[in-house]
């Protein structure tokens, strides 16, 4: 019983001391402190190729000169990046284009916004069975991404080459139900990241640039058809949760990602055209 009394007294004394300290200064909010600290590390989530590679270049060659401490977290599953940014696990991310972000915000009631464009990964139509676009026709099986934004992108590419006809060419994200005339083509949906490994199963497949790179598919040489660069709305950008656009660390990174050094790095590293500089303000 004596031991219990002693422990209780010690706890009471500690509580009193805590209250006394609390009266002298209000407890700080770690999140607030972090946001207001321009010297705190900035954690950015990215897919491995080419986004994390570009961020690593900035980290190793440019960030310290601007007083920016940059942490790069690489994700192989891109569907996890936006939720991690939304819940504060990440300060920013770099992996997506505007159509994908809009779809995420709409579906998940997200609050993420683009900050600055960095590069474009042209989507291409690839094949292991055919060497000419004209060889595709009635009965050909085409693999397309199953997520709405990239599927829409794939269908617009096919339509631009006359392989299909869309009911409304102005729709941002057409789906398979928006095809007016398939011209005999058959479609199989799959996760975008699985299409390169499954390419031999299709007559052709629409593959994003970031998945073409590790699969050793060279857009400039291997694609039967490829998106144009001029006026392309699918540039990848730095994104943050709304309200964090003015974070001084974010502003520093945005500035660095649009430097001539990064432009030269992209052009020198991705000589096959799988990634192209595309700086400036994101599509509104």
Q: What is the mean pLDDT of residues 242-268?
A: 98
Indicate the length of the chain as a whole number: 284
251 shares a domain with 189? no
Percent of the chain with pLDDT over 90: 76
DSSP-derived pairing of the beta strands 124-126 and 225-226: antiparallel
pLDDT value at 245 more than 50: yes
35 confidence band (pLDDT: 50, 70, 90): low
- Total number of domains constituting the chain: 2
Contact 261/275 with Cβ under 8 angstroms?
no
220 shares a domain with 139? yes
Interval 130-175: pLDDT, tens = 999 999 999 999 999 999 989 999 999 999 999 999 999 888 889 9
215 shares a domain with 80? no
283 confidence band (pLDDT: 50, 70, 90): confident
More confident: 16 or 230: 230
Measured over all CA atoms, what is the biggest interatomic distance in the chain, rounded to whole angstroms?
92
Return the DSSP state at 201: G
Structural domain includes residue 138: yes
Contact 99/152 with Cβ under 8 angstroms?
yes
Structural domain includes residue 237: yes
204 shares a domain with 166? yes
Q: What is the mean pLDDT of residues 195-216?
A: 94
- Can you give the pLDDT at residue 37? 76
Structural domain includes residue 4: no
210 shares a domain with 71? no
- Can you give the pLDDT at residue 213? 85
Task: Give the domain extent around 49.
Answer: 39-121+233-280
265 vs 120: CA distance, rounded Å: 14
174 shares a domain with 114? no
Query: Can you read off the two tokens belonging to residue 243?
Result: 């309200």
pLDDT value at 15 more than 80: no
- Can you give the pLDDT at residue 34? 54
- Can you give the pLDDT at residue 29? 38
Q: What is the mean pLDDT of residues 220-241?
A: 92
Structural domain includes residue 9: no
128 shares a domain with 116? no
172 vs 103: CA distance, rounded Å: 11
Query: If you average pLDDT over every residue of the chain, what do you get?
Result: 88
114 shares a domain with 53? yes
- Can you give the pLDDT at residue 11? 39
Nearest one of 70, 5, 3, 62 to 40, comparing CA atoms: 70
Interval 50-66: pLDDT, tens = 999 999 999 999 999 99
Interval 66-104: pLDDT, tens = 999 999 999 999 999 999 999 999 999 999 999 899 999
Interval 112-139: pLDDT, tens = 999 999 999 999 999 999 999 999 999 9
């Amino acid at each position: 019983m004596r031991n219990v009394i002693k422990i209780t007294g010690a706890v009471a004394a500690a509580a009193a001391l805590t209250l006394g300290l609390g009266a002298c200064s209000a407890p700080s909010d770690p999140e607030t402190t972090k946001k207001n600290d321009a010297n705190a590390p900035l954690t950015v989530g990215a897919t491995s190729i080419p986004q994390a590679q570009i961020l690593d270049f900035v980290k190793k060659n440019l960030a310290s000169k601007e007083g920016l401490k940059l942490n790069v977290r690489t994700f192989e599953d891109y569907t996890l990046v936006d939720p991690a940014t939304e819940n504060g696990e990440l300060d920013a991310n770099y992996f997506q284009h505007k159509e994908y972000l809009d779809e995420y915000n709409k579906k998940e009631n997200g609050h993420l916004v683009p900050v600055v464009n960095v590069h474009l990964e042209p989507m291409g139509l690839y094949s292991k069975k055919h060497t000419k676009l004209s060889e595709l026709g009635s009965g050909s099986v085409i693999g397309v991404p199953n997520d709405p934004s990239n599927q829409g992108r794939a269908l617009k590419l096919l339509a631009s080459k006359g392989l299909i006809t869309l009911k409304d060419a102005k729709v941002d994200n057409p789906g398979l139900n928006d095809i007016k005339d398939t011209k005999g083509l058959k479609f199989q949906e799959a996760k975008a990241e699985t299409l390169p490994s499954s390419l031999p199963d299709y007559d052709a497949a629409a593959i994003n640039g970031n998945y073409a790179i590790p699969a050793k598919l060279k857009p400039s040489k291997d694609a039967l058809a490829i998106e144009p660069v001029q006026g392309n709305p699918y540039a990848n950008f730095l994104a943050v949760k709304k309200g964090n656009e003015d974070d001084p660390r974010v502003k520093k990174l945005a500035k660095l990602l649009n430097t001539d050094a990064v432009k030269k790095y992209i052009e020198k590293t991705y000589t096959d055209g799988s990634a192209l500089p595309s700086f400036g303000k994101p599509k509104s």
